[in-house]
Structure 1
Amino acid sequence: MESHNPGIEFDESYVNNVNLNLTAIKKRAAEFATRRTVKKDYQVAWLLRAVTCIDLTTLAGDDTPSNVQKLCFKAANPIRADLLKQIGFNPKELTCGAVCVYPSRVADAYGTLSSFKMNDKIPVAAVATGFPSGQYHLETRLKEIKLAVADGASEIDIVINRTAALQGDWKLLFDELKQMKESCGKAHMKAILAVGELGSLENVYKASMVAMMAGSDFIKTSTGKEGVNATLVNALVMVRALRDYYYATGYKVGFKPAGGIRTAKDACVWLSLMKEELDEEWTTNKFFRLGASALLGDIERQVYHYVTGRYAAANELP
């Protein structure tokens, strides 16, 4: 798997003199939050695009091989085949963007996807580096990445050192992330910023730039375990950082909001943000992912309503 972003040398100018207009950011974010998005045929098309961008996730303490197997099957068959056929879509062409699990469950996910020959189409993503806190020795965090890759993970969702960010030690953060990138090998690295714990929007922007300089292929809002997860205000700052980095280096980096994204309408709002702030390519799973566990159920419910004219009963959707 080829990296989107090889990274650059640490450049302090990317994190010096960062000034953000909070009023303008909130105003722009509110436009996305309150608007009516696409409807009818176009809405269904956007929802199917959103399905392909979902990192279908289970990160529970009681995860077992059996519920990981169910997750993998759902990722390979996200919407009921009969519903897709009725709207003229080939069911075999629709899968989720990835399956996201803890490192100890990577082998289960990879083995399951291999059993129905989907491991080349659906990557396994593993949260690593002491998820969700990151408060572990660097050596153990790097080892966790290598073990996950060895078990079959082709995407690694790492968590950044929030202490370094809060103390403004951006060179330390950069150096750690460079080592994590090296440990990933050919796997894509997605850097989780945990924006709810960074203290300010300026730190969100700076952490985004440092993560990209260090070679992150995606920047991700949250672990889903913080008090504040994916908000449009934080996301707008991160997306503008993506754009600035692209203009400065020519490298495109992906974006992954995670935590609290549960409805089909949410998915359309996030897609519209990516399309308007960046471009069409940033609405594909190459550069955009949605970290979610409940979102897919609501999207399937909306597709069912589009096809039948009514909402499904609980027993009508898997």
Structure 2
Amino acid sequence: MGNPGIQFDESWLANVNINLPAVKRRAQQLSGRRTVKKEWQLAWLLRAVTCIDLTTLSGEDTTSNVQRLCHKASSPVRKDLLKAIDCDDLGLTCGAVCVYPNRVEDSKNYLKSISAQNIPIASVATGFPAGQTPLHTRLEEIKFAVEHGASEIDVVINRAHALTGNWRGVYDEVKEMKEACGNAHMKVILATGDLGCLTNVYKASVVSMLAGADFIKTSTGKEGVNAILPVAIVMIRAIRDYYQKTGIKVGFKPAGGIRSAKDALVWLSLMKEELGDDWTKPNLFRIGASALLLDIERQIFHNVTGKYAALHELAMA
């Protein structure tokens, strides 16, 4: 299914007013509350695992560390821990693995070798993270990733267009990216830390959805400011507005700086309260992360054993 997009309509961008104090209050309310406890916390943490796009986006990525990532995504929590909480029959996996286009084929081959082809392969593309390459090059990068096995593509918008108010330009480029993705789901990275203000964040969210974004994503993880709650609230309410006007559900992906199990619970709470249960599942919610999974597994270990694991007791993500 996904989001087919609709025609560009500038009226969606008229009279956008963001109540910054109210957004900040809502963010503080979320981050300051107690999280769920005991068995409910375990259930929420396991749900969070299924929503992680387990990520490696490093210049030193090799076949071996991508294989390690894929193996961890296929078996994200120690089997004895899952058995101890009667969850060993869930078939638990991460939501996807996320890699550079050159590492897509490595991921595909390894997932096939361990019979884990059900795990989606997400690839960043379009001159990630800056997006400062010619459009035809960015489109070819999408096609390359799809041809080599990516079923999800994380693209970046043209921040120059956004910062100069050329929203039709943003729409046209994202629409071409959508066409290049073919059957692959498209996640549109807004790089909100580069957009200057929350009004631009809202407009970039709406324009990306009009152009066919299946997900909107906060950040590349490479900006000075990445996934923060005030920005997320604005993006999520844009998703709600789009759904109310079109009936189309668009997913949300925060990325960058989400490292603790407590953070994951806060993000899940936000999705449940603002958009509903459907947006707490991996088809509509993902967390882009590399270190988060280890802390979630440590919390599960603590729940089972009453102590925190030493690093050598858990396989690193």
TM-score, normalised relative to structure 1? 0.98
CA distance in structure 2 between the partners assigned to 1:166 and 1:239 by the alignment:
21
Aligned partner letter, 1:71? L
CA distance in structure 1 between the partners assigned to 2:71 and 2:170 by the alignment:
37
Aligned partner letter, 1:95? T
Residue 95 of structure 2 is matched in structure 1 by 97
Aligned partner letter, 2:149? G
**How many correspondences in the alignment?**
315
Residue 10 of structure 1 is matched in structure 2 by 8
Give, in angstroms, the shift of residue 92 of structure 1. Answer: 5.4
Alignment of 1:81 with 2:42, yes or no, is: no
Matches within 5 A, 1:1-318: 2=1, 4-90=2-88, 93-119=91-117, 121-318=118-315
SS in 2 for 1:93: coil
Could you give the per-residue CA deviations for residues 204-240 of structure 1, whole angstroms, max 9, x where no partner exists?
Answer: 0000000000000000000000000000000000000
Aligned partner letter, 1:168? G
Give, in angstroms, the shift of residue 91 of structure 1. Answer: 5.1
SS in 1 for 2:188: strand
SS in 2 for 1:291: strand
CA distance in structure 1 between the partners assigned to 2:218 and 2:89 by the alignment:
31
TM-score, normalised relative to structure 2? 0.99
SS in 1 for 2:137: helix
CA distance in structure 2 between the partners assigned to 1:218 and 1:91 by the alignment:
30
Give, in angstroms, the shift of residue 90 of structure 1. Answer: 2.1
Runs of 4+ in 1 over 4 A off after TM superposition: none
Aligned partner letter, 1:56? L
CA distance in structure 2 between the partners assigned to 1:315 and 1:231 by the alignment:
31
Structure 1 runs not aligned, ≥5 long? none
CA distance in structure 2 between the partners assigned to 1:51 and 1:13 by the alignment:
39
CA distance in structure 1 between the partners assigned to 2:311 and 2:266 by the alignment:
26
Structure 2 runs not aligned, ≥5 long? none
Identity percentage of aligned residues: 67
Could you give the per-residue CA deviations for residues 180-215 of structure 1, whole angstroms, max 9, x where no partner exists?
Answer: 000000000000000000011000000000000000
CA distance in structure 1 between the partners assigned to 2:65 and 2:148 by the alignment:
18
Give, in angstroms, the shift of residue 116 of structure 1. Answer: 1.4
